[in-house]
Amino acid sequence: MQESVNIDAVKRKLKFDYMKIRNDPASKTADVFSSLLAHFQRPQIVVHDLIQEAANLIQKQFRLRWTMVGLRSQSDGLYRYEVQIGMRAEAWARQKSKAYKESDFDIRGAYKASEISKLSRFYAEEENPLFNEDEQTVNRPVLLRAKRKAEDEALEADFIDALILGPGDDLLGWIEYGGTVAGKLPEPMTIRNIEVMAAILGAAIITPTRRLQ
């Protein structure tokens, strides 16, 4: 007859296994989600602080070269970059001066994109060549027009957008990010995790409005 397992051993194993996975990448990503969700526990959500923290966490957790977050302006309805991490000063100054219409985010619009999912689309450097005056919007202009040597290689002007949507798929903003510090395109799980973070940002943006109703 098999003896019953000691309950203290069960508790020790549960705690040991939990501590063991704390440094696992998937567990670290859960910490990122928890950090963003903690903003909902505050008396007031400061959207600018939240999106800056999101950009910082995305770049650090997924080892991306840079990350930017843009939002729709309440004054004129145009979309502008609000925060960044990893951009050189001149490139950021030029990016921050840009304004976009909602139609610019249509994959059939002025910018050619391939749809990864409902929320994410990929903009390849080869399909969106920069004009001379726009070359300073990237971190390393000298690397522009390099040849792509592998399917997972990220070129200097490659980027992915994750849409921040509200009720009825209302476009509230977007998360934009480039390749990894190793020069690769982001992994599929990275793209999916950033989509979840975009959903958290969307909920935070509409929360103050709902509280007033």
- With 70 as the cut, is the pLDDT of residue 211 above it? no
Structure confidence at residue 126 (pLDDT): 93
Contacts 24+ apart (CB under 8 A), 112-119: 113/161, 116/160, 116/191, 117/191, 117/195, 118/163, 119/162, 119/163, 119/165, 119/195, 119/198
Structure confidence at residue 208 (pLDDT): 57
Structure confidence at residue 157 (pLDDT): 93
- For domain 7-212, the question of CATH label 1.10.530.10 is answered with no
Global pTM? 0.89
Structure confidence at residue 213 (pLDDT): 32
* Residue, of 162 and 45, whose pLDDT is higher: 162
Q: Chain-wide mean pLDDT for the chain?
A: 91
Structure confidence at residue 3 (pLDDT): 81
* Residue, of 133 and 114, whose pLDDT is higher: 114
Average pLDDT over residues 82-96: 95
Structure confidence at residue 209 (pLDDT): 47
Span of 117-131, 152-166, 186-200 with lowest mean pLDDT: 117-131
Parse the chain into domains and list their residue ranges: 7-212
Contacts 24+ apart (CB under 8 A), 31-38: 32/57, 32/58, 32/61, 32/193, 32/197, 33/196, 33/197, 33/200, 36/197, 36/200, 36/201, 36/204, 37/200
